[in-house]
Amino acid sequence: MFPLFRTRFISVGDNFDSAEHEGDTGGMEIAFKFLMHEYYSKDLSRKITSAKHEKMRRGEAVNKNCAYGYRLNSKRQLEIDEAAADTVKLIFNLAVKGYGTRQIASFLYNDKRLKPSAYKGNLASKPGTEYIWKDSRIYTILRDEQYTGTYIAGKFKSKKVGSRRTVRVPESDWIKIPDHHPAIIDIEQFNKVQEMLKSTAQKKSKPLQPRDYLLRKKAFCGCCGHALDYSATKNPMYVCKFTSVAYDTDCYKFRITAIELGTILFEMMTEQAKAILDDDLSDKNSDSSDSFDHEKCSADLQDETADSTSSSY
């Protein structure tokens, strides 16, 4: 492999220089050593994993990015972050009153509660979107047993030794330690919300529709920058769902029919193709050696795309 990338491999300890061993690997001794090293590193990885697991079992392994509503003190213990915990309590109280995740998101927007990433100080990609909570984020908070004071670890494990890819562990195998840190939500309220979530999930349980459509991940809202969602109704639409709770944003309830968007795209592509063809023809006629400026053309195309998306609502 090294010669392929024109790399010379020198191992001083093994007295090995790939330049002196063209085509071979330096004999059995070196090959055996490599094998041992790989075995050693896998063994080390296993030991580190088991030490980490032991820490989890004792409730000592806490992630720096702890659950929203908590922060780590100087002893790396979870303590309540009052302002964020207040929002967590509000979310649970609304859920008990029967509010759905979308209604809760709407309430939080009106109440100007910063979404978790904005609260942590990460600047929103677009100003004005810092109060827009995703339904899924609210759902994750409502399902998080950590708010009752229970320590939870071991939700994921690596696919195989040394791999960075992880797989989800079934909940029955998670490590749970009750009364590990101060609770934000009492267990009765938490359990009540779980029951309510279960019954709404049962009511909603219709088979998921295939989420594939022509401009998937290709059509973006010109105002907030989020990918447009596809609504497969009789008259299919592309909609900006991101600002569905933010009534005072420019793209609130923005929608465009798939036919309309398709027509705009078709016209744009025709114009671009024409420009390229015209350019090619004039190049041939004048016999000039100037090559077509692809970069400029694609930049123009992007500008036009942004213009047409932002001007179409």
Q: Which residues bind Zn ion (CB under 5 A)?
A: 221, 223-224, 240, 243, 251
Count of residues making up the chain: 313
Return the number of the residue (129 or 189) whose C-beta is nearest Zn ion.
129
- Least distance between Zn ion and beta carbon 125 (Å): 12
- Nearest approach, Cβ of 307 to Zn ion (angstroms)? 16
Q: Least Å distance between CB 247 and Zn ion?
A: 13
Q: Which CB sits closer to Zn ion, 196 or 227?
A: 227
Angle in degrees, CA 88, 185, 119, rounded to 5: 20
Q: Whose Cβ is closer to Zn ion: residue 52's or residue 255's?
A: 255
Shortest reach from residue 309's CB to Zn ion, in Å: 10
Backbone Cα Rg of the chain:
29
Distance (Å, whole) CA 155 – CA 223:
37
Output the CA–CA distances (angstroms, integers) from residue 247 to 38, 109, 138, 254, in the order listed.
58, 9, 19, 11
Kindly tell me the sign of the dihedral angle through the C-alpha atoms of 190, 138, 55, 184. negative
In whole angstroms, how close is the CB of 235 to Zn ion at the nearest point? 20
Q: Which is nearer to Zn ion, 89 or 255 (CB)?
A: 255
Name residue 97's amino acid.
Answer: K
With respect to Zn ion, which residue has the nearer C-beta, 1 or 123? 123
- Residue ranges of alpha helices (H) inside 20-130 are 27-57, 82-96, 101-110, 116-119
